[in-house]
């Protein structure tokens, strides 16, 4: 457990320094511990160390983890590519869905959330780099998707999420993050209730300090917290 405590302390120190550079309150930034391929006991240690939000990429892998950690009651975010036929299970398991990227998925999630009488916070995932290998709505499709989501009674759109192109130099990712921030500002201008659109999920272990400087409110941290994943 010592390494997770030390890693978390180091992440928080870097977070505070990044916030201080732009005059932000560190309380505005939430750390999402990314648990893909992480053993349940190590996840339990992270929650015991103060990580209250966890992010999982796979519905099947998440179920066992969520069941085993139910006593700790962390907040679970789905952060992977989601198929519409997994919407029912995703609504059952997760508190947030960060990766809504098309109307068909939103409709499936809304239908299942209505059945469960559950209000589900969601983010629109945006493919800011236009990469064929990554999910996400094209920037030009964000406003139409927002308009569709705003009519869905069980979904609460809270903001935007992105996985930008990987850059060896974290500074090189800044234009992509600025693009996401601008998209959120444009949505807020078009929204009837802009106060609900507050979240920018961007930044990972490699570049989260730059993301914080550009307005991230959710940073998704895996390797920096848990260490490198085992290779197959």
pLDDT digits (tens, 9 = 90+) for 152-172: 999 999 999 999 999 999 999
Using the Cα atoms of residue 174, residue 180, residue 186 and residue 189 in order, give the sign of their dihedral. negative
Burial of 85 (0-12, 13-18, 19+ CB in 10 A): exposed
Q: DSSP class of residue 26?
A: G
Q: What is the mean pLDDT of the chain?
A: 95
pLDDT, residue 78, reads: 98
Average pLDDT for 165-181: 96
- For helices 142-149 and 103-115, the axis angle rounded to 10 degrees is 20
pLDDT at 232: 46
Mean pLDDT of 209-221: 98
pLDDT for res 37: 93
Q: Mean of the pLDDT values across residues 43-71? A: 95
Q: Which of 178, 183, 176 is nearest to 157 (CA)?
A: 183
CA angle centred on 164, ends 161 and 167, rounded to 5°: 150
How confident is the model at residue 54, as a pLDDT?
98
pLDDT at 228: 84
Asked if pLDDT for residue 84 goes beyond 80, the answer is yes
Residue 175 confidence (pLDDT): 97
Tell me how long the chain is: 232
H-helix or E-strand spanning residue 209: helix 208-213
pLDDT of residue 1: 61
2 pLDDT band, cuts 50/70/90, is: confident
Which domains, and CATH codes, for the chain?
Answer: 2-226 (3.20.20.10)
**Which two structure tokens, joined as six digits, stand for 124?**
């629109």
């Amino acid at each position: 457990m010592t390494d997770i405590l030390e890693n978390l302390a180091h992440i928080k120190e870097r977070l505070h320094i990044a916030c201080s550079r732009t005059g932000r309150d560190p309380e505005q930034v939430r750390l999402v511990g990314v648990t893909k391929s992480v053993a349940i006991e190590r996840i339990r240690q992270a929650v015991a160390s103060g990580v209250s939000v966890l992010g999982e990429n796979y519905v099947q892998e998440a179920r066992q983890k969520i069941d085993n950690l139910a006593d700790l009651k962390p907040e679970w975010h789905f952060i992977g590519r989601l198929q519409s036929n997994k919407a029912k299970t995703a609504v059952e398991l997760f508190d947030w869905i960060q990766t809504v990227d098309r109307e068909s998925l939103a409709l499936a999630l809304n239908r299942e959330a209505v059945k469960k009488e559950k209000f589900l916070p969601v983010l629109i995932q945006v493919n800011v780099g236009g990469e064929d290998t990554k999910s996400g709505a094209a920037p030009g499709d964000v406003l139409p998707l927002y308009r569709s989501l705003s009519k869905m009674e069980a979904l609460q759109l809270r903001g935007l999420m992105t996985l930008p192109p990987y850059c060896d130099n974290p500074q090189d990712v800044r234009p992509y993050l600025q693009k996401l921030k601008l998209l959120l500002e444009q949505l807020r201008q078009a929204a009837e209730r802009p106060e609900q659109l507050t979240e920018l999920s961007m930044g990972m272990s490699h570049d989260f300090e730059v993301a914080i400087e550009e307005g991230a409110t959710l940073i998704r941290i895996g390797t920096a917290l848990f260490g490198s994943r085992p290779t197959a």
